[in-house]
Amino acid sequence: MSAGITSTIRLAIRTLPENFDRSRIVTVLETIEEELYEGGVYASASADSMAIEIIVRTDQLLDTAKVLNELDLI
């Protein structure tokens, strides 16, 4: 990700929709990153045991929200 102002979005893993397999978190992260990329958002997603963290450029927050909403993540 290029230098600049970034924002972090945290999503609780326990609140993921049923179509996301919580036991395959790497696949979930890849899916989120791919969908964001297809929506024109360049993001980095990672996870710990409790939450998914998505880092995006702040100027892409609106596009990020649109994609995450389409995925029923927000």
Q: What pLDDT, in 10s, does the model give residues 9-48?
A: 999 999 999 999 999 999 999 999 999 999 999 999 999 9
DSSP letters, 42-56, are -EEEEE-SSEEEEEE
Sorted by where each begins, the domain ranges of the chain are 6-70
6-70 folds as: Alpha-Beta Plaits (3.30.70)
pLDDT of residue 1: 55
| C-alpha to C-alpha distance for 27 and 39, rounded to whole angstroms | 18
User: 4 pLDDT exceeds 90?
Assistant: no
